[in-house]
Amino acid sequence: MLEAIRQAEVTLTAKYHDFLTINRDLGRQLVSFQANKQTAGNRWFKYKEGFSVPLIHYVCEYTGISSGKLLEPFAGAGTALFAVSERGVDATGIELLPSSAEIIRVRQTVREAEVTPLISALRAFASNRTWEQGGNSDPFPHIRITQGAFPTETETLLGRFRHETRVLDNPVLAQLLRFVALCVLESVSYTRKDGQYLRWDYRSGRTIGAKLFNKGSIVPFSDAVLGKLYEVIEDLQYVQAKPIPKDLFTSLITDCPQGQIEIQEGSCLHLLPQFCAGEFDSIITSPPYANRYDYTRTYALELAMLGVGEEAIRQLRQAMLSCTVENREKEDLSQAIPTEIWEKARTAFEAQDMLQKILAYLEDCRNEKTLNNTGIPRMLRGYFWEMCLVLFLCARVLKPHSPFVMVNDNVRYQGIHIPVDLILSDFAQAAGFSVEKIWVLPTGKGNSSQQMGLHGREEIRKCVYVWRRKADSITDSKGQ
């Protein structure tokens, strides 16, 4: 079976050999969120799963995205939406996670606000420090996974801060201050985001295993909030000082009217069928990777603060693209997606030779109990099936000749390299796209320490795919 998988990969790689191109312009910092860390506005929040503003501008220059309407089916923190808006392009984003959607909403609110009075109100709130005074409190709405996340004094001050922002008469100020608190939750807690889960500092008393984790400094609440407040004020002053006011998130464009931004909350698998055929002129996206990351756990503090309860967390986890071993088959999908698209996607999915061999091999490993988690085969089957559906749905809503750009990583399980880039490109071609480029980053990523111990070290490709919608007949309708 392993030899058959390797041969299938040789065949698939040969098919796309002329499109796989090392792009030395695309360092890992440019493609990842790292390039945003010191950017006005973007530095307010920690969102490691995003890509950078400079990458979006790079992609727009290459593909010719300069007008019309862009779709981002996995909007995240809204990087693509705001970057193309600076170029005068309207943008629609779909985002499932409430904490990410809140980032986008706050960015919209702030860029439309009157800057001078907002700065004055922020300064006054920071100076008064009313949350440090006695008074009513809005306790943090914990869920099971967040219990005990904060030192006692921090939790007290956080409750007071939440109350003081809730009773403000200025809704823009209140929304921004709540967001400030959301942005510092990790730094004031015993936790740290770590991909598949939250890591707990040993001082929390929730340490798992013999090895103690020390996250280092746990910032006092007032220090963290004031630091973030003055960071926000500094960025607003920067915007205020520019001769032509722009949005908060850097601009390479001058004298360009901003495009409109719309955010729709929910699963793109349910929302994409509701758009009109041929409604969009471009797509830029970075879906969750097939890497077992559970965003409902890593962003548990933020979700809890936004009032997402236990049952809603479970529903979110199941609604996510199947990227975690807890995902089950989405039984309601066939009712949400037009039958013709469903059947064409099913044909493409079942015809992908390498993927089917990989799934069969992993099922054998599951039966032989050699996998470290028995949910891996189900997760990967769900991931590729759902991504296949996404690609067919995206092909329907794109105009002919329109670009589709995706950032994604290849993965490795049980020693097998899974070329996500090539498998998805096969699906894309079946859906009506032509492959223009598969940009390979000069530096890939290593496999996990566990995988290296069992199977040796081998670098995995990190890629940016550039596809383009082929010209064919598109019906201007909803659903069908």
Q: List, for residues 253-289, the tens digit of each pLDDT value.
A: 445 688 999 999 999 999 999 999 999 999 999 999 9
Q: List, for residues 444-476, the tens digit of each pLDDT value.
A: 665 444 544 444 557 889 999 999 999 874 443
Q: What percent of the chain has pLDDT over 70?
A: 88
Q: If we measure between CA atoms, which residue out of 189, 192, 220, 202 comes closest to residue 46?
A: 192
Would you state the pLDDT for residue 197? 79
Structure token pair of residue 440:
């390979």
- Owner of token pair 């659903």: 479
- Is there a contact between 239 and 40 (Cβ–Cβ < 8 Å)? yes
Would you state the pLDDT for residue 46? 77
What is the per-residue burial (b if ≥16 Cβ within 10 Å, else e) of 73-110? bbbbbbbbbbbbbbbebbbbbbbbbbbbbbbbbbbbeb
- Is there a contact between 21 and 439 (Cβ–Cβ < 8 Å)? yes
Distance CA 198, CA 294 (A): 10
CB-based burial label for 132 (10 Å; 0-12, 13-18, 19+): middle
Ordered structural domains, the chain, with CATH: 2-96+247-469 (3.40.50.150), 111-241 (no CATH)
Q: List, for residues 229-249, the tens digit of each pLDDT value.
A: 999 999 888 866 664 444 444
Would you state the pLDDT for residue 249? 43
Mean pLDDT, residues 20-46:
72
Distance CA 263, CA 282 (A): 16
Per-residue pLDDT for 359 more than 60? yes
Structure token pair of residue 356:
């089917």
What is the 3-state composition of the chain as percent helix, strand, coil, each rounded to the nearest 5? Answer: 50, 15, 35
Would you state the pLDDT for residue 203? 93
Find all residues with CB under 8 Å of 257, minimum gap 6, and list them: 88
3-state class of 377 per DSSP? Answer: helix
Q: List, for residues 294-330, the tens digit of each pLDDT value.
A: 999 999 999 999 999 999 999 999 999 999 888 899 9
Would you state the pLDDT for residue 40? 54
Distance CA 470, CA 464 (A): 19
Structure token pair of residue 232:
């926000």
Per-residue pLDDT for 206 more than 90? no
Per-residue pLDDT for 109 more than 90? yes
pLDDT confidence bin for 208, thresholds 50/70/90: low
Q: Report the chain's C-alpha Rg in angstroms.
A: 23
Q: List, for residues 4-23, the tens digit of each pLDDT value.
A: 999 999 999 999 999 999 99
Supply angle C-alpha 195, 56, 322, rounded to 5.
35
- Is there a contact between 272 and 73 (Cβ–Cβ < 8 Å)? yes
* First-to-final CA distance of the chain: 40
